[in-house]
A and B are shown apart, each in its own frame.
Chain A
Amino acid sequence: MNLRTRLHTRFRYPVILLRAMVSTDFKLRYQASVLGYLWTLLRPLALFTILYLVFVRLLKIGASIPYNAIYLLFGIVIWGLFSEVSNNGLASLVGRADLLRKIRFPRYVVVVSIGASALISFVLSMVVIVLFMVLARVPVRLDILWLPLLFIELVAFSLSFAFFLSALYVRYRDMSYIWEVVLQAAFYATPIIYPLSMLPVRYAKILMLNPMAQIIQDARYCLVTPETVTMTQLFGTPWVRVIPVGITLVMIVTSLGFFRRRSPYFAEEA
């Protein structure tokens, strides 16, 4: 049997399930709303407007950064993916307990479907951002080619939390409260709504070791403006990125291992 058919038989059922779960999720989310799917675009647009008014017009944060509005929004969209995947991921197994107890299927599909749903709203938000970029005439540079890699890192990092937290939440329901607080703290520990240049270099260096900070700053650098403080400027070499990338790799391997070890018991514990 060649690799193609092997992969096909192995992943046929998971893929079918994944599609069904994501599309059901999508249908249910915009059901009984007059504007329906239009909300997928209207929602980020409305949120962006609020953020723009508060942070750019009122507080004038990061006024020295070119295209500061898009700069801010992009950071928030990236953080949004992480927080949506980790938050929804946490509750995903318990939320699908009825399925877990009655059907035998690969458990990871539940968590991956959360990731896929979040990715869809992420892509739609990106459409809005690109729209703004065109309007603001942001110049496009070759660095944009790095974005896919950064997004892969982002998804991997976010999913590693989803896998770990979902498996933990089955056992310890305290996790939802703990995670809420941790996530809030992490939001402020990541240079999203404030520029990194506000901090002393010593602290900025520590903050940047966090994969989310690295991803957000690098992505801003590649898409919005090269006048962004990334690891290269802080440490004087681009190779320090092995630390956040390494953290991401370790996270995904350990949490997948943990998830796999716990998964036979989800049916009786969820």
Chain B
Amino acid sequence: MAESMIEVRGVSKDFLLPHLRANTLKTRFVNMFRKRRVMEVQHALRDIDFEVREGEFLGVVGRNGSGKSTLLKILAGIYVPTSGYTVSRGRLVPFIELGVGFNPELTGRENVYLNGALLGFSKTEVQEMYDDIVRFAELEDSMDQKLKYYSTGMYVRIAFSVATRARAEILLIDEVLAVGDTAFRRKCFDHFHALKRRGTTIVFVTHDMAAVREFCDRAIMIEDSRIVANGAPDYVAEEYAKLFSPVAQDAKAQGAEAAEAEMAESTRWGEGNVRYTNVRVPELLSDGEAELVLELEAEAQTDCLDPVYAFVISDSDGTAIMGSDSLRKTRRCEALAAGDCVTMTWAVPNVFSDGVHSLEVAIADRQGLTVYDSWKDAATFTVVKEETTPYVVTPDTSFTLRRIGD
């Protein structure tokens, strides 16, 4: 059994909420005279306990604000835990993001040297690897340009190219490392795999379940600042999907119904002339099902001449994948009188990728000037596909290979 490279034991991290922190002498002065010190503490992490073995590729997943990035910063030694401790038995790469310390006013060349220094390379060492770095980034002609004139793609390429030079036994990667277009992401992951083959231990924080399934040996899920799942990537990815399914939300809602209602309100707005009264979406969409069927009901509160019904489906990253509206389909609007109820059905071919998707529905007037009802996250559904790809959609594809001349 490989020995553990990173040990995390009973780590908790508390933050004082920024607006309550005594940032100026005045607030400190004022607080002195308050009877009760108002100190709201935010528990970013509670009692985190796990280890990472040598050569392991560990995924850390969780929703926004669950504490994943804080955990990564504690592992990197940037934050100190409030209690508990971490041990790492290997050289850690000192940073967790690409292009840290890049200065837009300096040229690409100067930034390579600067970033190299942050990685711990002396000037001569950077000189030796400089040509390789530039070639890998495919930026031979732009190195004497100031960084502020670089496109995002160029910026990421040069930053990544320097970062690949890091000599470390443990790599900590926040998902921002894996930005860029799909081809570039592929290049990133190829690089991580090459590192892994050399025995590098990798901790990877992400939202992307497809990446977790494809690359990680093991994953942990953090929810509400605690570890709630730790195991095989497939198992953790399923647990993650459950977070977004209505069942899990119901279970959660028992404790905090009011908060839930408030959440629903904050994602729903509009004039209210016509409102959706019922949104029915299957909870689970498995491989066998050819179509996703959305059944919606709406009721008019007042007379309404020209309602247009629309929907958008987003993936777990929040990227809108597809959508449509009634005007595109029928080219006309059915006027409603107060009290009228309508029901409608959308059928969408099952092209979705594996993971949780959310549905946004809306009703607006013909010109789109008045929004009657806009409801973000009206429902979520989980798609389970045998075939996982890192792309936004995964339609049924077929492939045949035939030798020519047979």
Contact with B along A15-39 (1 / 0, CB 8 A): 0110110001001100100000000
In the assembled complex, 24 residue pairs joining A and B whose CB atoms fall closer than 8 Å, in A order, are A12-B120, A13-B120, A16-B120, A16-B122, A17-B118, A19-B117, A20-B118, A24-B106, A27-B110, A28-B105, A31-B105, A98-B101, A99-B101, A99-B118, A102-B78, A102-B95, A102-B97, A103-B118, A104-B76, A104-B78, A104-B92, A171-B23, A172-B24, A264-B80
**Interface band, chain A:** 20 to 34
Interface positions of A from 167 to 199, Cβ below 8 Å from B: 171-174
* Chain A residues within 8 Å of B106, by CB: 24, 27-28
Contact with B along A83-115 (1 / 0, CB 8 A): 000000000000000111111110000000000
Interface positions of A from 54 to 83, Cβ below 8 Å from B: none
- Is the beta-carbon distance between B103 and A28 smaller than 8 angstroms? yes
- Assuming the contacts A98-B100, A98-B101, A102-B95, asked whether A16 and B78 have C-beta atoms less than 8 A apart, the reply is no
- Pairs of residues from A and B, 3 with the lowest C-beta to C-beta distance, nearest first: A20-B117, A264-B80, A104-B77
Contact with A along B118-133 (1 / 0, CB 8 A): 1011110000000000
The minimal Cβ–Cβ distance linking B122 to chain A, given in whole angstroms, is 5
**Interface band, chain B:** 20 to 34
- Assuming the contacts A16-B117, A28-B105, A99-B101, asked whether A173 and B24 have C-beta atoms less than 8 A apart, the reply is yes
* Chain A residues within 8 Å of B22, by CB: 171-172
Interface secondary structure of B, over-half rule = loop
A245 within 8 A of B: no
B15 within 8 A of A: yes
A132 within 8 A of B: no
The minimal Cβ–Cβ distance linking A119 to chain B, given in whole angstroms, is 20
* Chain B residues within 8 Å of A20, by CB: 113-114, 117-118
A268 within 8 A of B: yes
- Is the beta-carbon distance between B117 and A17 smaller than 8 angstroms? yes
Bound CA–CA A112/B26 (angstroms):
30
The minimal Cβ–Cβ distance linking A95 to chain B, given in whole angstroms, is 12
Bound CA–CA A28/B24 (angstroms):
31
Interface positions of B from 4 to 58, Cβ below 8 Å from A: 15, 21-26, 28
Contact with A along B99-117 (1 / 0, CB 8 A): 0110101100010011001
